Structure 1
């Protein structure tokens, strides 16, 4: 499956938004980069759907612009004015050329989900490969209102339970993409999250 990070040129804060090409061209998160529509059009004029990992502003700010430009079907866990189809834990969604299971992974956000296929993980913010706190296995922050480290830890455990050993590509909401032993990255993130220590000094 061909995947492009269409927020790569952003100079302001945004999540990573991923364009997965194939039988079902899909944007995973819309991001906050005002050039995302043009970035998608560099690769395709046909965007079938947008799937959201969660609805924090850095993941959905440009959703209106993407919907206006491409009229895709929008999938999300929680209600949203532009949502066409709800996803729930255990749902299946086609992304690019693969079928993905939806795994409910709250803690960083109450509506957070990850998408898992036999080869690929779109993890959103529940687990990331690297960020300003850790390299090779980090996790979403839980120090803001409505967030929970305990629930995030359980979500990472749930994700591991549903993660096939064959997964070798990880596309997270922040940081770099990763190809290799994705399970090891997620297990490392879990070990760090389980220590219950603040991720950031002011947490």
Structure 2
């Protein structure tokens, strides 16, 4: 399964949006980059599904454009006018060529989910490899109303509990893609979150 960050060349603030090609072409998050549909079409003529890790604006601003262009099914935990399939903890769904388990991971957002297969983790904003605040293991911000560091910590622990041993690819909502020891990155993020260090000044 090939995965492309279709918002990698954005000149304005956006979340990463990932196109997984293969048997079931799927977009994980839609991002906020104008023209993302044209970038997607460089790699595929069809998108069967869009899966949202959560519905913050930087992840969904271009969602309508993507759905209009590809007539894709929309998977989301929280309600959305165009949702075709609700996500819940423990669900499984196919992304590209692999089967992924849905893990409810609130804290950064109430509706946040992460997606894990035998080889890959789509972690949204709960865990990232690098984001300007920390390198090699950081975590989503929890300093805005409705967010919770305690819930985020529990969510990171849940990812660790359910992370298969062979996961070597991490696709997060911000920062770079990581290939290597994903468990170590997640454990490092957990330790930093548990120290209650402020993420931003």
Q: Is TM-score (shorter-chain normalized) higher than 0.5? A: yes
Structure 2 match to 1:106: 106
Structure 2 match to 1:40: 40
Could you say what the CA RMSD is over the residues aligned between the two structures, in angstroms? 0.4
CA distance in 2, matches of 1:191, 1:21: 34
Shift in Å, 1:35: 1.3
CA distance in 1, matches of 2:172, 2:73: 22
CA shift digits 1:129-152 (9 cap, x unpaired): 001100000000000010000000
CA shift digits 1:151-193 (9 cap, x unpaired): 0000000010000110000000000000000000000000000
TM-score for the superposition, normalised by structure 2: 0.99
1:53 pairs with 2:53: yes
CA distance in 1, matches of 2:46, 2:134: 37
CA distance in 2, matches of 1:43, 1:71: 17
Query: Gapped runs of 5+ residues in structure 2?
Result: none
Structure 2 match to 1:128: 128
**Could you say what secondary structure the match of 2:190 adopts?**
helix
Shift in Å, 1:116: 0.1
Query: Gapped runs of 5+ residues in structure 1?
Result: none
Structure 2 match to 1:94: 94
TM-score for the superposition, normalised by structure 1: 0.98
